[in-house]
Amino acid sequence: MEHTAIKFDNLHKYYGKVHALSGLDFEVKKGEIFGFLGPNGAGKTTTIRCMLDLIRPSKGQIEILGMDPQSDPQGVKQNVGYLPGDLNLDGNFTARGYLKYIRRIKKESRSPEEFNELARRLDVPLDMKIKSLSQGNKQKVGLMQALISKVPLLLLDEPTLGLDPLMQQEVLNIVQEEAEKGTTVFFSSHILSEVQKIADRVGIIRKGVLVEIAETDSLINRAITLATVSFSEEVPESNFVHLPDLVILRVNDHQKSYTFEIQGEVDHFIKTLAKFPVRDLAIHRPSLEEVFLKYYRGEKVEN
Ligand code: ATP
């Protein structure tokens, strides 16, 4: 059985002279939630649009559920729930009418009960005209149409854009429930806390290049931790200099107070501290946000 849901092979996209994607080469496994991150203009939307053959890559191959979007765009579209980033709903019909239409053209639609439950959870004003909906409510309708049929793959371009915090959480819950049922989810986002909450793996794209791909937890674990320690007596530096992956940044108060930088796991460091009378200890673990900011700014990231 094929275990790959999405495969990029040396994908390039030029818009005139702009090299929007430069050689994307990675895979997304079936059943995983993959967070696709990067600053504005990095190439996220371009990547997603190539996956649906809405635009054509300049070079390279894509495989979606074993299909080539260029030779079988209908096959891909039938099997993918897609939320566009530039969702532009502006009809004179109601949300219910619009979704009814989408239901008809998709295969394997959800049952009316499932549809109503989804609309209830997302609090979609089904009987209002689409053009008079607020931006957030349009986004919910967009999510409904992406989720309207039972598909093996969801491609969501910024799924929580414009939603209030409670609704953002509900969307994440829904996405997670879909993944638990075996659906693969590929989503782009700027909200790092939500990526941290639900993504199994993340890929970071910057200027069209994938600069990192890793399990979400491992990205955080391998980042640098800062620790400030006060001892109730003098503790010579010689006790710490031999520890691997530890750097002494500052020593104050006659070797009673230290600031350390720890690379990776903190276990060894904590056990060393425990040999001395610790008065106070403050540990600063970086959030995913801090880890990503380094990538976003293009700083060197320690490994
Ligand atoms: P954002 O987070 O702001 O949505 P993104 O990561 O989705 O950004 P893309 O929209 O894929 O980025 O854009 C990638 C690059 O390609 C940018 O430099 C953008 O200006 C350029 N670009 C995108 N669409 C076009 C187009 N139709 N014509 C010319 N250049 C384009």
Digit-coded pLDDT (tens) for 134-176: 999 999 999 999 999 889 999 999 999 999 999 999 999 999 9
CA of 256 to the centre of ligand 1 (A): 53
Q: Assess whether pLDDT exceeds 70 at residue 298.
A: no
* 86 Cβ inside 6 Å of ligand 1: no
Which atom of ligand 1 is nearest the CA belonging to 190? Answer: 2
* 20 Cβ inside 6 Å of ligand 1: yes
- Separation CA 14–CA 175 (nearest Å): 32
| Per-domain boundaries in the chain | 4-217, 224-285
Q: Assess whether pLDDT exceeds 90 at residue 225.
A: no
How confident is residue 103, by pLDDT bands cut at 50, 70 and 90? confident
Q: Which two tokens stand for residue 193?
A: 């806390």
**Taking the model in full, what pTM does it have?**
0.82
CA of 275 to the centre of ligand 1 (A): 55
Which atom of ligand 1 is nearest the CA belonging to 85? Answer: 4
Percentage of residues of the chain with pLDDT beyond 90: 69
> Which residue's alpha carbon is nearest to atom 18 within ligand 1?
41
> Which residue's alpha carbon is nearest to atom 20 within ligand 1?
41
Q: Would you list the DSSP string of the chain?
A: ---EEEEEEEEEEEETTEEEEEEE--EEETT-EEEEE-STTSSHHHHHHHHTTSS--SEEEEEETTB-TTT-HHHHHHHEEEE-TT-----SSBHHHHHHHHHHHSSSBPPHHHHHHHHHHHT--TTSBGGGS-HHHHHHHHHHHHTSB--SEEEEESTTTT--HHHHHHHHHHHHHHHHTT-EEEEEES-HHHHHHH-SEEEEEETTEEEEEEEHHHHHHTSEEEEEEEESS---GGGTTTSTTEEEEEEETTTTEEEEEEES--HHHHHHHTTS-EEEEEEEPPPHHHHHHHHHHT-----
Q: Assess whether pLDDT exceeds 90 at residue 48.
A: yes
* 40 Cβ inside 6 Å of ligand 1: yes
- Separation CA 261–CA 157 (nearest Å): 37
Q: Which two tokens stand for residue 199?
A: 């993504």
* 41 Cβ inside 6 Å of ligand 1: yes
State in Å, rounded, how far the first CA of the chain is from the last one. 34
CA of 52 to the centre of ligand 1 (A): 16
CA of 102 to the centre of ligand 1 (A): 27
* 45 Cβ inside 6 Å of ligand 1: yes
**Domain 224-285 class in CATH:** alpha beta
How confident is residue 302, by pLDDT bands cut at 50, 70 and 90? very low
Considering only CA atoms, which of 51, 69, 68 is closest in space to residue 155?
51
* 17 Cβ inside 6 Å of ligand 1: no
Which atom of ligand 1 is nearest the CA belonging to 13? Answer: 16
> Which residue's alpha carbon is nearest to atom 11 within ligand 1?
43
> Which residue's alpha carbon is nearest to atom 16 within ligand 1?
20
Q: Domain 4-217: what homologous superfamily?
A: P-loop containing nucleotide triphosphate hydrolases (3.40.50.300)
* 24 Cβ inside 6 Å of ligand 1: no
Which atom of ligand 1 is nearest the CA belonging to 46? Answer: 11
Which atom of ligand 1 is nearest the CA belonging to 39? Answer: 2
Q: What is the pLDDT of residue 303?
A: 43
* 303 Cβ inside 6 Å of ligand 1: no
Dump pLDDT digits (tens) for 270-280: 999 999 999 99
Does 248 or 220 have the greater pLDDT score?
248
